[in-house]
């Protein structure tokens, strides 16, 4: 495993797409352009890498790839959010904590 200092985790930007789409897309595009040969693999962006040295995580972490895919889909159509909010338990919980749902 590589050093923690300076390590970049692309799934952090991917998972945050609905909250700051412009900034997150800029980060993801920059990572792909700047580090494509070492960071773009079979399943897309690697799990983590350190631009200050040669360390790149060889593992594919499904939860990280998955959240990036879900949030990209949600950004495009809000399908994930709309489907999630259809569950009665979610609507009830959101109301109980003071959020309005429509």
Domain spans, the chain: 10-96
pLDDT at 64 over 60: yes
The three-class DSSP label of residue 98 is coil
pLDDT at 46 over 90: yes
Q: What pLDDT, on a 0 to 100 scale, did the predictor assign at position 17?
A: 94
Q: What pLDDT, on a 0 to 100 scale, did the predictor assign at position 60?
A: 87
DSSP 25: H
Cβ proximity of 24 and 68 under 8 Å:
no
pLDDT at 75 over 50: yes
Long-range contacts of range 54-58, CB-CB < 8 Å, 24 or more positions apart?
55/1, 55/2, 55/3, 55/7, 56/2, 57/1, 57/2
């Amino acid at each position: 495993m590589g050093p923690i200092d300076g390590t970049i985790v692309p799934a952090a930007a991917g998972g945050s797409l609905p909250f700051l789409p412009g900034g997150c897309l800029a980060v993801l595009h920059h990572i792909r352009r700047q580090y494509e040969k070492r960071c773009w693999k079979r399943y897309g962006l690697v799990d983590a890498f350190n631009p200050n040295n040669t360390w790149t995580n060889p593992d594919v972490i499904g939860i990280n790839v998955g959240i990036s895919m879900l949030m990209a889909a949600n950004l495009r159509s809000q399908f994930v959010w709309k489907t999630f909010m259809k569950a009665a338990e979610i609507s009830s919980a959101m109301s109980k904590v003071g959020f309005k749902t429509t």
